[in-house]
Amino acid sequence: MIAWLSAVAAVTVQLVVMVAAAPLVVGLARQSRAWVEGRAGAGVLQPWRDLRKLLLKEPVQAEGTRLQVAAPVVLLATSLMVCAQVPLVGTVSLPGLPGDLFVVVSVLLVGTVALAVLGLDSGTAFGGMGSSRHMTIAALVEPTVLVAVFAVSIPAGSSALSQIMNERLAAPSTIASPASLMAVVALGIAVLAETGRLPVDNPATHLELTMVHEAMVLESSGRDLAWVELGSWLRLAALVGLVGNLLVPWGQATTASPGALLVGILTLLAKLALSAVVLGAAEVFLAKVRLFRVPELLAGSFALAFLAVTTSYLVT
Amino acid sequence: MTAVDLGLRLHLALAAAGVLVALAAAPERRARWAGSLAATAAAAGLVTGLAAMAGTEGRLTLSTALPLAPLTLAPDRLGGLFMAIAGGVGLLAALFGIGYAHGPSSSATSWAAFVAFLPSVQLVPAAADVVSFLLVWEAMAITSTVLLLADHEHRPQVLSATRWYAVMTHLGFLALLAGFAVLVAESGGTTLDELARAVESHRQQGGRYHGALALLTIGFAAKAGLVPLHVWLPRAHPEAPSHVSAVMSGAMAGTGIYGLVLIAVRLMPEPPQWWALALVALGIASALYGILQASVATDVKRLLGYSTTENSGLMAIALGLAVLLRADGETGPADVALVACLMLAVSHAAFKTTLFLGAGSVVHATGERDLDRLGGLLPRMPWTATAFALGGLGAAALPVTAGFVSEWVLLQAIIHGARGEGRVVAVVMPLALAAVALTAGLALLTMVKAVGVAFLARGRSEAVATAREAPAPMVTAMLAGAGVLVLLGVAAGPLAVAVAGTVDARGILATSTAGLHLAAVDAGLEPVRLTGGVLVLTALVAGPAILLERRRPRRRTTLPWGCGGVRTSPRMEYTATSYAEPLVRVFGDALRPTRDVAVTRTDRAWFVVREVRFHQQLEDVVEQALYRPLQAVLNRTAELARGVQNGSIHRYLTYSLAALIAVLAAVSR
Amino acid sequence: MPATTYAQLVGTAAGVLLLSAVLVVWRRSLIAAVRLLALQGVALAVLVAVMALHAGEGALLLVAVLVLVLKAVVLPGAVRRAMQLAAGEREEAPLLNPTAALLACVALAGLAYVVSAPLVEIGDDPALRVVPVGVSLVLIGLLTIASRRRAMSQLIGFVMMDNGIATVALLTAGGVPLVVELGVSLDVLLVVLILAVLTTRMRSVFGDTDLDELRELREE
Amino acid sequence: MSALRLARLIRRVGRIAEPALPAPLPITLPAPLPADPPTDPPTDGRALPSELPSELRGSVQVRHVDAGSCNGCEIEVGAAFGPVYDAERYGARLVASPRHADAVLVTGVVTRNMAEPLRRTVEATPRPRVVLAVGDCAVDCGLFARGHAVVGPASSVVDVDLEVRGCPPEPEQIVAALRRVTGR
């Protein structure tokens, strides 16, 4: 019972930290981008200000739309579920919910579907367009994700994330092996595609015809939009945090003691901050690739993931 | 007398009564009576199957039916599983049919064929000897052909579809006949057990054994709809009445998979490696090709038909991997893969039945199967929409449905399977994983497209405007299918254990919360807790949302945001065709679309465009490349053969004479 | 050198070899391809050096230095020189689109893994486990030659094949005799130079180095 | 441009945003009415007597509507959101849909074809919302008054909360008007 309670407490802490940090990750990425561009920038807290304002506003809903209320809530709930299952602050997981990677991926996909359905539901040309592109990319990313997962799960002999992390903590030499590096790079590309970042999608675009993510939410407003935004930011933060933890697993709490959790929180925040700065700055150097060149990028990442699996057979 | 004994007799009796009632009853009562009897018979079959699955033995021998050999029906545990699947599907389909069947599909012939079709599908897995197996198999083929023909007077494409179906299904039958004939000749007996024993002792003989294996595989693969023998599927499914399509896809395709599993576990245990590799290759090709065609299809029933090919492909992959892994000594993952194959069969039956019935309900209400002309049905048909969406969730393998659980088990088998020393296995595993992953991704897109385009946004044609929810029996059947799908997804552990029992798979355990624990590969899944977690988190979000809803109510506007445009119409929405357009481009090499754009200009000026028409056609590439040339050759041969037959009685008698001489020559040698 | 470190170093070098080959197929830019070729040379040299240190053979260390000079500096340099002669051609327009080429790479890597089983099993040296990488390099090099238009890419594919052969030879024979390795590499250098000259000639005649244009030379 | 050259350029240029001016007057304070004569030199954004909503403090998403402008104002609006004036640092951002917007920024005289779209755009914007008329044309038709395709200034079609004069207005003025809304 006590073990159960402390696990719940650890997961709750992780959820709270992620909800607080996810907008800051986006804010920091935008801010670092602004610095590189020679701007002053809106400040790291800007996403939080945006959220507060959106929650205070009156949402507008068009006739004939049915899922504008439910779909954003589902998206946010699945993002929270992902945050609860992925080892971020620590590898402590709820008993019976070991954060199996395949389960995490399918929970993520439920969120993806919620967003795609939201776009179709709006009944406008742009909503359908965004939804179609979003699902196409999601479908093509899927092999990369699963094969990369396969590659990182080989040393641990399990697809449960906490076990993978523990294995990496126990044998750091596996982290720097070519197989693991290739898999993490492939996973990184997949994360960029899945979360709608450059070079697959431009989160700051105003041009409807180039949109993917934005086109689906053109119809949402007020708190509906707030849920969508927070949900997407949580996805980004959780996945970036996961990749960060795969590369640098140290600092994660392996027990639910307060001290370990504190260390876990601090190292997680440091990893997230570093990734956000790198992400924001790197995006200045990237151009969005044409939609029909995206498969090329994804095929590349798939090849990396596959080679990660074969090279992991070579070096044991 | 055991439950199975009783069940088999009851099942046959009820079905026979159903056929008689269908032929005799007055038209206005026919549907209710024949449908109810069919449903009861199917229910009896379901219970019998479940009992057999649990290990109850029983047999029904009809010694006088045929002069040569007695017919024996004695389902073993594996047969019981597939019998139960067919029973469940048949029950829902019959229930649905009561409200659905109208026009030609409610004629006496159609109902009689339907009532006879259900038991034939259920008794294939119950057959204990070759003769009864082939007999029931053929009955299944004939009754389904009759059902398919129901609407032939109104729609010419029905005839073409039936022709394809009849030819393919009989070629498959011939392959089975030949394959079994070889085995029977080897063993001297006709029961499946005798065959298995003969195979055991003749394993080293080579040639014949491999030939029989190949023939049987072709026969079963054609029924399961594996590429390249799938061509009848996307034609027959759209043209059959929807409750018939549900049985054809959910249960009849399952008999093909049953046959393949039967080969691998009972008839010829430890099949050779080439067979397993061929099965995996066929499976990968079917899964990818099927889902690719489904994702670009606009006819909702054609889409579902191709999706059947995809799912059969997944099952074939799982079965092939199970055989490969067992040959490699990896019994743990091999058992998991085998269980995955059977779970996929169960979940496929559940979601495909729901989806076909849902599609039938849409056709019933609107008369449209073309997604491009549907839309906005959610407020008009909320129950159909709910059931169809849940079915879509299952087909896309998302939690918490049986589809998700079975795909998860398959993935676990794959990632734990590659630990051995076998190099072939080591390379096949990641390839299979990639194929399964891409299939899952495309299935997700396909189902979002089907559900989203048909039920959300605004209607794209007038047919939608008058749509009304289906009558009670249909709604009940659809919702029951969806309910089973979710229930099996939540109770993953018991499902897996029950399925594992039928093939003696070890290391598949259920936890106290109906979760699934794969002891063989040390992996666990807890759908109940997962659902609980998601529900708690949803409540966490929904709470504030409801609170805010009170404080700041939302404002309704008439139009969605259309860039301030004054004329926005439903015609501007994305259609199913446009939804799949990026995929058509990405996979252009594999799909080979033919497109043409016709621009009509005004007479006055070249640059004033009056109208632009875009037409895209996506044919089945396999059919084009493989069957058309074959057909051409056949036609040419037939033309030549016509010279043989000129109506002259003398010439026919000469043929007889020549034949007689030839036979005598052959015998005397 | 401890056995585990040795195995890991060999693995890393092999990983870089394979990765650089795949990246050559992925990228369209020819300049990037030449840089990747140099990287591949370095990885090969490291592989040789690691084996030399492990076996404690001075001669093998000499081979490592030679490999470094030849494959990381001279050969890429020659290819780059050829490219400068055929100025203005920086982008490959492949016959096979990169998506398909990458998937083909994946298939070839799998094939290499399966077919090199007999080579791997000739000893229990951990270095032998990476023989499939060499075989994949040969196959991917051939794929590059077959699927690309520009003469420059053919050069690159050719050098990749040579690297692959060298890797296999090195790993299985515990180091090719110095003379043989030198001879082969010089052969390749010669081929590169000849092709470079040919390319320039082609360019001055056709204004392009699209090899499909060579079809026009056929007498009819 | 290669990544290396881009990096060098970034290092050489450094920060190009101009230093921030002191924060504007508190938004709840109603500003005086315009002193009517149109020859009045353009000043920074003047709030009409209505109060600006406090919900928008710190974050304003702007939907820009060109109701019939000569594109002079567009250039200045673009400059206001560019790196030099950097309106984003005060919490303002251009967005692609009025559903996401808090402010509708109107430039140009309202032409007949754009009157209905403008009305719809404002209608599609969730409340509380602010409408800014930027440039002389949007404020009082400027040069194009009494044109045959002109409906009138923005205020003749929708309720305008803030006006920015100038033909075209300078980016500082646009930024100042936006800062009145964000209060930063």
Q: Write down the mean pLDDT value for chain A.
A: 90
The 10 Å CB-count burial string (b at 16+, else e) for D119-149 is: ebbbbbbbebbbbbbbbbbbbbbbebeeeee
Residue with tokens 């649905």: B96
Query: Contact, A117 vs A67, CB < 8 A?
Result: yes
Residue of B nearest to D120 (CA): B564
Test mutation, C113, C121, C129, C135, chain B, max B CBs within 10 A? C113
Structure tokens at B37: 């009897």
pLDDT bucket at C96, cuts 50 / 70 / 90: confident
* Per-residue pLDDT at D37: 44
Cα separation, B249 vs B259, in Å, equals 15
Chain A residues lying within 8 Å of C7, measured CB to CB: 315
The CA distance from A76 to A276, in Å, is 21
Closest CA to A86 of A276, A268, A263, A301: A268
Q: Which residues of C touch B589 (CB under 8 A)?
A: 100
C-beta separation of A58 from B554 below 8 A: yes
Is the CB of C130 inside 8 Å of chain A's CB atoms?
yes
In angstroms, what CA-CA distances link A165 with A4, A272, B67? 20, 17, 68
CATH number of D56-184: 3.40.50.12280
Do residue D117 and residue B566 have CB atoms under 8 angstroms apart?
yes
C132 Cβ partners below 8 Å, 6+ apart? A310, A314, C109, C112, C113, C116, C120
Please give the pLDDT value at position B666.
Answer: 84
Mutate to test the interface with A, among B386, B456, B522, B547 (most CBs of A within 10 A): B456
- The band of C200, judged by pLDDT with boundaries at 50, 70 and 90, is low
Residue B145's CB is within 10 A of a number of other CB atoms, namely: 18
Q: How many CB atoms lie within 10 A of CB A253?
A: 25
Write b or e for each residue in B528-564: b if 16 or more Cβ atoms lie within 10 A of its Cβ, otherwise e: bbbeebbeebbeebbeebeebeeebebeebebbbbbb
Task: Assess whether the previous peptide bond of A59 is cis (omega < 30° from 0).
Answer: no
**CB–CB contact A42 D91 (8 Å):** yes
Residue A135 to residue B350: CA distance in whole angstroms: 25
Beta bridge mates, C210: C150
> Inter-chain contact B427–C110, Cβ cutoff 8 Å?
yes
Amino acid at residue number C21: A
pLDDT for A72-116, tens place per residue? Answer: 999 999 999 999 999 998 888 777 777 888 999 999 999 999 999
Testing the interface with C: which of B273, B421, B423 to mutate, by most C Cβ within 10 A? B423
Q: How far is C209 from chain A (nearest CA, A)?
A: 25
User: Across the interface, do A284 and D100 touch by the CB < 8 Å criterion?
Assistant: no
C146 touches B: beta carbon within 8 Å: no
Q: What average pLDDT does the segment A207-225 reach?
A: 88
Give contacts of A291 with chain C, Cβ < 8 Å. none
Nearest to A313 among B398, B426, B451 (CB): B426
φ, ψ at C176 (rounded to 5°): -70, 150
Q: Which residue has the tokens 């990237």?
A: A286
Query: Cβ distance B223 to B169 under 8 Å?
Result: yes
Residues of D in contact with A211 (CB under 8 A): 96
Flag whether pLDDT at C179 surpasses 80. Answer: no
A25 in contact with chain D, both atoms CB, cutoff 8 A: no
List the alpha helices (DSSP H) in B225-330.
Answer: 233-239, 242-247, 253-262, 273-296, 300-327
Are the C-beta atoms of A201 and A213 separated by less than 8 Å?
Answer: yes
Neighbouring residues of C210: CB distance < 8 A, sequence distance ≥ 6? C149, C150
In sequence order, the β-bridge partners of residue B600 are B611
Strand partners, A123: none
D99 touches chain B (CB under 8 A): yes
- Which of A100, A90, A77 lies closest to A6, judged by CA? A90
**In angstroms, rounded to a whole number, what is the distance separating the alpha carbons of residues B235 and B368?**
17
Q: How far is B128 from B77, CA to CA, in rounded Å? A: 12
Alpha-carbon distance A186 to C214, whole Å?
Answer: 39
DSSP string, B281-300: HHHHHHHHHHHHHHHH--BH
Instruction: Say if C174 is an interface residue toward chain A (CB within 8 Å).
Output: no
CB contacts < 8 Å between A and C, how many?
78
Shortest Cα distance, chain B CAs vs residue C123, angstroms: 16
For an interface test with A, the pick among C16, C25, C26, C119 (most A C-beta atoms closer than 10 Å) comes out as: C26
Residue B567's CB is within 10 A of a number of other CB atoms, namely: 6
pLDDT, tens digit, 9 for 90 and up, residues C118-167: 777 777 777 788 888 888 998 998 888 888 877 777 778 888 888 888 88
Enter the DSSP assignment of A160.
Answer: B
Mean pLDDT over C111-120 rounds to 82
Question: How many residues are recorded in chain D?
Answer: 184
Of residues B555, B561, B566, nearest to D116 (C-beta): B566
CB contact under 8 A, C117 and B589: no
Rg (CA), chain D: 17
Distance of CA B162 to the CA centre of its chain: 17
Residue of C nearest to B428 (CA): C110
What number of other Cβ atoms are within 10 A of residue B634's Cβ?
11
Residue C12 and residue A295: Cβ atoms within 8 Å?
no
Report the residue from B555, B557, B561 with minimal CB separation from D97: B561
Strand partners, B127: B73
Residues 6+ positions from B535 with CB-CB distance below 8 Å: none
Give kind and range of the element (H or E) at residue A264.
helix A258-284
B416/A contact by beta carbon, under 8 A: yes
Residues of chain D with confidence (pLDDT) below 50: 26-49
Asked if the Cβ–Cβ distance from A178 to C109 is below 8 Å, we say: no
- Evaluated on CA atoms B243, B245, B249, B251, the torsion sign reads positive
Nearest to D102 among A53, A208, A220 (CB): A53
**Chain B residues close to C111, C-beta within 8 Å:** 427
What is the distance of C-alpha A97 from the center of its chain? 19
The predicted structure's pLDDT at residue D27: 44
Give the residues of chain B that fall short of pLDDT 70.
64-68, 202-205, 420-421, 566-568, 647, 669
The ranges assigned to domains in chain A are 2-314
**Is the CB of B524 inside 8 Å of chain A's CB atoms?**
yes
Distance CA B630, CA B616 (A): 26
Q: Which of D88, D127, D175 to mutate to test the interface with A (most CBs of A within 10 A)?
A: D88
CB < 8 Å to C132, chain A: 310, 314
Helix (H) / strand (E) element for C156: namely: helix C151-173
CA-nearest residue of chain B to A106? Answer: B398
Count of CB pairs separated by less than 8 Å, B with C: 12
Among A60, A117, A313, whose Cβ lies nearest the Cβ of B456?
Answer: A117
Contact C104/A at CB under 8 A = no
Whether the CB-CB separation of A283 and A198 falls below 8 Å is answered with: yes
Q: C31: Cβ–Cβ under 8 A, 6 or more apart, which residues?
A: C83, C90
Residue B131 near residue B68 (C-beta atoms within 8 A): yes
Q: What is the DSSP letter of B469?
A: P
Given an 8 Å threshold on Cβ–Cβ distance, is A57 in contact with D55? yes
Structure tokens at B175: 């392959």
Burial of D5 (C-beta count, 10 Å sphere; 0-12/13-18/19+): exposed
d(CA A93, CA A100): 10
User: Token pair of B47, please?
Assistant: 């219970």
pLDDT score recorded for residue C201: 66
- C-alpha dihedral (B241, B242, B244, B248), degrees to nearest 10: 120
The residue of chain A nearest to residue D5, with distances taken between CA atoms, is A285
Do the strands D150-152 and D110-111 form a parallel or antiparallel pair, or are they unpaired? Answer: antiparallel
Q: Which chains touch C (3 or more CB pairs under 8 A)?
A: A, B
The region, left, alpha or beta by phi > 0 then psi within -120 to 50, assigned to residue B103 is left
What is the distance between the alpha carbons of residues A19 and B442, in angstroms, rounded to a whole number? 31
CA distance C130 to A253: 37
Q: How distant is the Cα of B469 from the closest Cα of chain A, in angstroms? A: 17
Q: Under DSSP, is residue D24 helix (H, G, I), strand (E, B) or coil? A: coil
Sequence-ordered strand ranges (E) for B442-540:
508-510, 516-518, 523-525
User: Chain D partners of A38 at a C-beta cutoff of 8 Å?
Assistant: 10, 13-17, 83
Residue owning tokens 């099927």: B290
Q: What is the pLDDT of residues C14-27, one digit of tens each?
A: 888 988 998 888 88
From chain B, the residues in CB contact with D97 under 8 A are: 561
**Confidence (pLDDT) at C206:** 64
D53: distance to nearest CA of chain A, Å?
Answer: 11
- Do residues A23 and A230 lie in contact, with contact meaning Cβ atoms separated by under 8 Å? yes
